[in-house]
Structures are given as structure tokens and as C-alpha cells.
Amino acid sequence: MENPLILQMQSITKVFPGVRALDDVTLEVRRGEIHAICGENGAGKSTLMKVLSGVYPYGTYEGRIIYMGSEMTFKNIKESENAGIAIIHQELTMIPELSITENIFMGNEVVKHGLIDWDAARHLTKELLERVGLTIDPDTQIKHLGVGQQQLVEIAKALSKNVKLLILDEPTSALNEADSENLLGLMRDLKTKDISCIMISHKLNEIAAISDAVTVIRDGHTVDTYAVEAGNVDEDRIIRSMVGRSIENRYPEHESHPGEIIFEVSDWCVEDPRVAGRLVCKNSSFYVRAGEIVGFAGLMGAGRTELMRSIFGRNYGNYLGGTIKIKGKQVRITSVASAIKSGIAYVPEDRKNLGLNLIDTIRKTIVSANLKAIKRGGLLNADEEFRAAEEYRKSLNIKASSVDIGVNTLSGGNQQKVVLGKWMFTEPEILILDEPTRGIDVGAKYEIYRLIHALANQGKAVILISSELPELLGMADRIYTIFEGKVTGVLDRREADQEVLMRRMTDTSATGSKSGKDGNAS
């Protein structure tokens, strides 16, 4: 016998000026069910959840929300939370300067005799963190956590409330495989406690592993919905429904023709900016050839991002030592400006905070890292600015009616394309891509993969950081592994598989050649 329905969204229609974001969308979720919602970026998934949670209040949309047998007319997110609905947005919402405890219990304080009981709050926070797999001091400020850790804190915050329906918008997009599996296990545990979960995700393997039902939204319409048995989801059916076509190969065919070594890092050492004496990069060495895509694999906190940010103009940590060579010549890069001048570009994993100015338009963002290219007579040329931005809008298939609209109005995937366009406009020789497909749907991923191949074909040296091992195996020519700030090996793609990579990502005894010049790890 099927569990009773906890949620029915009937004929939901949401219109923005000039855009029908949702058109007669229907969704049904059962009690104690994990229900996946799939769709390309801009399909309307997040909009639907904002309608449900009261972010878009009653009266701003058409249709009905039936929750636990009663029609709901949420005027704000507080009302939906009081009803037992919690939403975790893809973009994090915590206050960086406050502690984990303060963020978790903000607006929901633990009170004793009319005062906040901080000891009790810290104790509860510790228990919540343990439930999501984090062993961190509850007094740690959010700004000192990585993106993945912040996501887990967001989930702990949701669990602190009396949740009956938990909405997770791309919950594992910033997590590595181990932490993602921990989260999926947590969702399974919630299911046993009769808590329903709605999961928006582009990771079909996770959907296949955990979902009890799947709904696919395309261009604001419900195009497919069906119950499934966890572990038996038809991924090809989901892809066809999402993009309106079949993608036979998730990773485009590509023939690599690497040339000479053009980028080489040797014995790179960087100290944690917060903890004196703690090294986040330990004598790291690697190289990249012209026309080569080199992957970096590691668990969250292994030091991949720290390594690349410190290389990109010493943008992270305290530099202790190490050398960089470009085309055989040693260079000294001490600022982001000097990194750009040396032909290095870096697409960060945290596009909101590090990749974009959210109050800028597409056209201003695209040219922002290379203003000299649009200068004429010492002044910025508006026509050149427009031409450059329009070229990248079309070539990257950025879904926007004009380059004059704000980047904050774009979906996450289209924002990522804008960041890519911004750095491509600098015409770099070395392009560092840190989680470039995070939070991006299957169709858009394929476009970005083709773009990465095109850059390699132009002779660029491409560095690809990814928490998705299948992505590294499908895209990279060679893959370096990092554990606790140390490069533990390098493997040719033909020799690598997920088991071997994971072993090197979790074992300091795994070693390879110092800079991998033989292309293999012993």
C-alpha cells in the first residue's frame, strides 16, 4: 500500500515580466518519499520550490498547494517553516561573520528563563553536525569553512527544525563523493523517520541510487513523472525528458594531441592563513602540456582549490616556497594582475563570491578581467564592449535576452558560462577550471565539455578540478591526486579508474613520480 500524499502542487503557473517560468506544473510527493526533480538550468525547478516555500508568496502565482490535506497560502518562508517545510537553496544563505551555532539557531534560538542558552545551543549544534558528518567546533565562524562544509551546515540548520518536508536544491553540488554519500545516507535515514525529501539534482547517479519517484520539468512544463524503485532509475529516459533528445555519450569524443610542457609548478608550499604551521600545500609539483587537459582529484579539504588559488597570484594562504615555469622560463607571480599578465586564468568554484559581481551586467562582467582589450584612445569603447559580450553570449549559448541584463537574474548554469566567458576573453595560455560544471544540468555540461576540448585543441593548457570522478575520467588526459595538501600520484586516463583514484585520494602512502614527467604514477 502506497504512503499517503504529503504534498500536491496543482496547475502551478508563475509569470515574470516577459517570461512564463512555470506553466500548469503539477507535483505530487508522498510521505516518507525521496522525490527527485530534474531539468535543465532555467527549466523552472527552483522557481517551483520557491513557490512552495513562500519565497514567492500566495497571490503571485496561479494554482493550489495542498500540504498534509489542507490548502496552503504561505505569505513568506517563515510560514512554510512553521508548517514543517524547510528549503536549502543551492546558493548558501548563512552569515559569514557568525558562528555555526549562531547561524543554525538564528530566529529559532534556544531560550532558558528568557535568555539564550548558548551552552545548550552549542551542544545541540554538535549533535546536528555529527548527523551530517562534520566534526567541527560549533563556535567556528562560517567564513572559515569551505563551500562543501557550509552546505552541510545548511542541512544541519534545516534538521534543527521540526521538518516534515525537506527541499534540497542541488545539495551535493559542492561536495566530494564521500560527503555526498554521507548526505544520501542521511536522506535515507530521514526517510525511515517518515520525513519526505524533495531533491533537485543534476547528478543522475545519485538520483538513480536514492529516488522513489522522479519528476522532469522542461521549459516550465511537467514533461514526465513516475514512481521508481531506488537503484532502478532509467537515466536515459531522464535525459531524453530533460533535453528533448538523447545524449548517447555524456562526454564528447576527443583526440588529444599534447605538445611541449608550458606550465610547471615545483615544490609549492603554502601555509594555512588561519593556522600557523599548518601546510595546505606540501611540496606540490605538477606540469601541464600545451593542448592537454590535466585533472586534479581529491576529497574536500585535500588542498586542490588552495593549491590553484595560491598559484593564481598567491590568492590564498601564506606562500612559503616553490617555483613556477611558463614555457620553460621561471616566472614570479605575486598578484592576480601578474597572473593574468602571465597568461593564467582561474574559474573559481564559488562563482557568486569569487567569480562575479552580482550587481553588474553580462557585458560588463565579460570584459572585466581584460579592459585593455576594449580601450580605444585611452577610453573604454562601449561598442567594443558590446561586441565582445555578444560574441560570448552566442558562442557559450548563455540564455539571456540581452547582454545588458544583470548576472544576478541568470540561472546558476548561465552564471557559470558568464564566468567562463570572462576568463576566455583574457585569451589565457593556462586555464584553471575549479568545479566548472558544479550545479549545471546534463545538456549544459555537454556544452562546457565541448568548450574545454576546443580550448585544448587551440593549444591551451587546461587544469580541471572536479569532485566527480567520472567527469575526470571522461575528460582528463592525466589525473593528479591530492591528499592532505600533498600530490600523491599521477595517472594516465587509460590506467585510471575510480577505485585507483580513491585509493590515492585517501592514502598518504600512495606515491607517484615527483612531477609526473613520465605521465604515470608508480
Q: How far apart are CA 155 and CA 153, in angstroms?
A: 5
- Are the C-beta atoms of 7 and 406 separated by less than 8 Å? no
Residue 331 backbone dihedrals phi, psi, to 5 degrees: -125, 155
Give residue 514's pLDDT.
39
Q: Are strands 5-16 and 196-200 parallel, antiparallel or unpaired?
A: unpaired
**Domains in the chain with CATH codes:** 5-243 (3.40.50.300), 259-343+428-516 (3.40.50.300), 352-427 (no CATH)
Selection from 115-119, 171-175, 346-350, 394-398 with the highest mean pLDDT: 115-119
Band of pLDDT at residue 41, cut at 50, 70 and 90? low
Give residue 377's pLDDT.
83
Distant-in-sequence contacts of 334-341, Cβ < 8 A, 24+ apart: 336/312, 337/313, 338/313, 339/311, 339/312, 339/313, 339/315, 340/313, 340/369, 340/370, 340/426, 340/428
Rg (Cα) of the chain, in Å, rounded?
24
In the predicted structure, residue 358 carries a pLDDT above the cut 60: yes
Give residue 68's pLDDT.
95
- Are the C-beta atoms of 367 and 389 separated by less than 8 Å? yes
Of the ranges 9-18, 44-53, 327-336, 434-443, which one carries the lowest mean pLDDT score?
A: 434-443
Per-residue pLDDT reduced to its tens digit, 250-261? 788 899 999 999
Question: Of how many residues is the chain composed?
Answer: 522
| H/E run at residue 8 | strand 5-16
Question: How large is the average pLDDT for residues 221-245?
Answer: 78
Give residue 512's pLDDT.
43
In the predicted structure, residue 288 carries a pLDDT above the cut 90: yes
Question: How large is the average pLDDT for residues 268-278?
Answer: 86
In the predicted structure, residue 154 carries a pLDDT above the cut 70: yes
Q: Are strands 379-380 and 279-289 parallel, antiparallel or unpaired?
A: unpaired
In the predicted structure, residue 519 carries a pLDDT above the cut 50: no
Per-residue pLDDT reduced to its tens digit, 336-350? 999 999 999 999 887
Across-strand partners of 71? 66
In the predicted structure, residue 149 carries a pLDDT above the cut 60: yes
How many alpha carbons lie under 13 Å from residue 157 in its C-beta half-sphere? 29
Band of pLDDT at residue 509, cut at 50, 70 and 90? low
Of the ranges 55-64, 244-253, 358-367, 409-418, which one carries the lowest mean pLDDT score?
A: 244-253
CA dihedral 402, 403, 408, 413 (to 10 degrees): 90
Give residue 369's pLDDT.
87
Per-residue pLDDT reduced to its tens digit, 275-285? 778 888 999 99
Q: How far apart are CA 397 and CA 300, in angstroms?
A: 31
- Are the C-beta atoms of 442 and 245 separated by less than 8 Å? no
Of the ranges 176-190, 357-371, 374-388, 411-425, which one carries the lowest mean pLDDT score?
A: 176-190
Share of the chain above pLDDT 70, in %: 92
Give residue 513's pLDDT.
39
Question: How large is the average pLDDT for residues 79-93?
Answer: 85
- Are the C-beta atoms of 243 and 236 separated by less than 8 Å? no
In the predicted structure, residue 521 carries a pLDDT above the cut 50: no
In the predicted structure, residue 505 carries a pLDDT above the cut 90: no
In the predicted structure, residue 174 carries a pLDDT above the cut 80: no
Give residue 517's pLDDT.
46
Give residue 304's pLDDT.
92
Question: How large is the average pLDDT for residues 303-326?
Answer: 93
Give residue 253's pLDDT.
87
Give residue 507's pLDDT.
62
- Full DSSP string of 471-497: HHHHH-SEEEEEETTEEEEEEETTT--
In the predicted structure, residue 472 carries a pLDDT above the cut 60: yes
- Better-predicted residue by pLDDT, 467 or 64: 64
Question: How large is the average pLDDT for residues 388-411?
Answer: 87
Q: How far apart are CA 320 and CA 342, in angstroms?
A: 21
- Are the C-beta atoms of 88 and 154 separated by less than 8 Å? yes
Question: How large is the average pLDDT for residues 364-383?
Answer: 88
Mean of the per-residue pLDDT values for the chain? 87
